[in-house]
Structure 1
């Protein structure tokens, strides 16, 4: 008989071992699981699980690392194009990163609220790697509607990310029914509560959702961007790239939705949204003290 403990890595035989999970908890013969690389939550009977060996984990991790590196490289290419455009708008010619710019930039504050503390840590590290100011907060999905407004009032961000884990269950009903989803209703309620206080879509930009989340309800509740239009899984770091694209686009420009999702691992099946203005502002002359 398979023996599991909290944090063990497993796959499900009934799903052809497609997703790598961490064991969240064990209740008798039922095991609660959360995705190791995707924002999916699931339950499975003990007999359906297969414990992952070290070599198999390294093989899967290598594949994921390649996907993440590709997304990062594509974003950096886009960032360079955005920087070139800012140089021109500031009245100068494009300069390489080694040269001093003749302008400074004020990027928006980001509040990233995550239902997974390990994913939160990984996302915060990526924000910092991308040069963005972020406040990360771990809150369980079910508590987000209760805590999000007070936290936004305290942090005063321009971008809010509400994410964690989610899942759609066919056995619970139609894809149109919020009760068929593990956490979508909490994301929806949290977005709706925020919009009651911050109704302007370009004043507070909201991303909400996780794997297989009810995209349409999240958009109707007031999210600028959300997951998951095709009810597919989304990667742990995908919300970061959505927020980063908004943060590095000038407030004078509208964001092309395709430009937001094309550098994510999940793409347009996993992420979508509304036309939204960027939030970056530039100023002159250059001042390191102002920018920092």
Structure 2
């Protein structure tokens, strides 16, 4: 009998309760322990774990997880703003002050416009919040990974971005071990096609800078399709490094 339910908030004992997850599915297997499918609450990560490795997180402990994540984000934002300010000071560029909620009063130059396509609306909201902290003009669209190739050209025409982000969820399909076959990935083929469509619209890699892929994507094929940057080398799970 499972004591966990879909929607419960949990952390993994084997990882020292490092990430807050939400239970999004429970896979029942006759005669075998259930597998719990997890989705990160703050971090873009999908994982699975045996039920015995999971600990429910009470509501009065949620603030600790959110506070820890917010501290990491604020530290990253401040570092980015500081580095950007140093760069623009070197070029004598025009500057303006950062938002009041970021301490230090670090000025920086104006960035290009971002169009962000995301297969996951919850993580898109997190990204849009961070763009706002950095005062980067960004348009976000929640579009499933499989629909992104069909939608990309019209969106590029409508918004004329300088930077295009194409992301969502990805990874090797269960039971497949051939890293070189794009068909063995959940979403890589869609990211590749979306990048190709974007490059048909704007071939110049300086006029449209493309970031594409997700955790464990076939990043070599995404780069070959025309992305300037791709995730994820060595098929690692992307996470914040501070």
Is the contact between residue 117 and residue 166 of structure 2 (CA under 8 Å) also seen in structure 1?
Answer: yes
Q: Which residue of 2 aligns with 1:201?
A: 205
CA offset digits 1:36-69 (Å, max 9, x no partner): 2332224556566443334554444343233222
Deviation per residue, 1:2-23 (Å, 9 max, x gap) = 13133x2234567775543223
Question: Which residue of 1 is the match for residue 23 of structure 2?
Answer: 23
Deviation, 1:163, is: 1.4
Question: What is residue 51 of structure 1 aligned with on the other side?
Answer: 56
Residue of structure 2 aligned with 1:61, choices 63, 66, 74: 66
Preserved CA contact (<8 Å) 1:233 1:266: no
Change in 2 beyond 3 A, CA 1:168/1:63: farther
Q: For structure 1, which runs of at least 5 residues remain unmatched after alignment? A: 99-104, 236-264, 268-292
**TM-score, normalising length from structure 1?**
0.66
Q: What's the TM-score, normalizing by structure 2?
A: 0.78
1:133: Cα distance to partner? Answer: 1.1
Q: Residues 140, 128 of structure 1: CA spacing in aligned structure 2 closer, same or farther, 3 A cutoff?
A: same
Distance 1:160 1:27, change over 3 A: same
Q: What corresponds to 1:74 in structure 2?
A: 79
Number of positions where the alignment pairs a residue of Structure 1 with one of Structure 2? 226
Quote the Cα distance in structure 2 between the aligned partners of 1:18 and 1:179.
32
State the secondary structure of the residue aligned to 2:22.
strand
Alignment-derived partner of residue 106 in structure 2? none
C-alpha distance in 1 between matches for 2:179 and 2:91? 43
Conservation of the 8 A alpha-carbon contact between 1:38 and 1:233 = no
Conservation of the 8 A alpha-carbon contact between 1:38 and 1:211: no
User: 229, 232, 235: which one pairs with 2:236?
Assistant: 232
Q: How much is the aligned-residue C-alpha RMSD, in angstroms?
A: 3.0
Contact 2:77 2:133 in 1 (8 A): no
Q: 1:32 to 1:145 in 2, by over 3 A?
A: farther
Change (3 A) 1:42 1:149: farther
